[in-house]
Structure 1
Amino acid sequence: MRKTLGLMTAAGLALMLAACGHNTEQRAATGAATGAVLGGPVGAVAGAAVGTAVSKAADDPR
Structure 2
Amino acid sequence: MTKLAIPFAFVAAIAIAGCGTTTGQRSGSGALMGAAGGALIGSLSGNAGAGALIGTGAGAIGGYLYDQHQKGHID
TM norm structure 2: 0.68
Structure 1 unaligned residues grouped into runs of 5+: none
| Closer, same or farther: CA 6–56 of 1 in aligned 2, 3 Å | same
Q: Does 2:27 match 1:25?
A: no
Does structure 1 residue 14 correspond to structure 2 residue 16?
A: no
**Identity between Structure 1 and Structure 2 (%):** 31
Measured in 2, the distance between the counterparts of 1:60 and 1:3 equals 38
User: Which structure has the larger Rg over C-alpha atoms?
Assistant: 2
Tell me the equivalent position of 2:49: none
Letter of the aligned partner of 1:34 in structure 2? M
Task: Supply the RMSD in Å over aligned alpha carbons.
Answer: 1.9
TM-score of the superposition, structure 1-length normalised? 0.80
Look up the equivalent residue of 2:22 and give its one-letter code. Answer: N
Distance 2:3 2:64 in 1: 25
Pick which of 4-13 and 25-34 moved more: 4-13
How far has the Cα of 1:8 moved from its partner?
Answer: 2.5
**Aligned-residue offset at 1:43:** 0.6
Task: Count matched residues.
Answer: 61
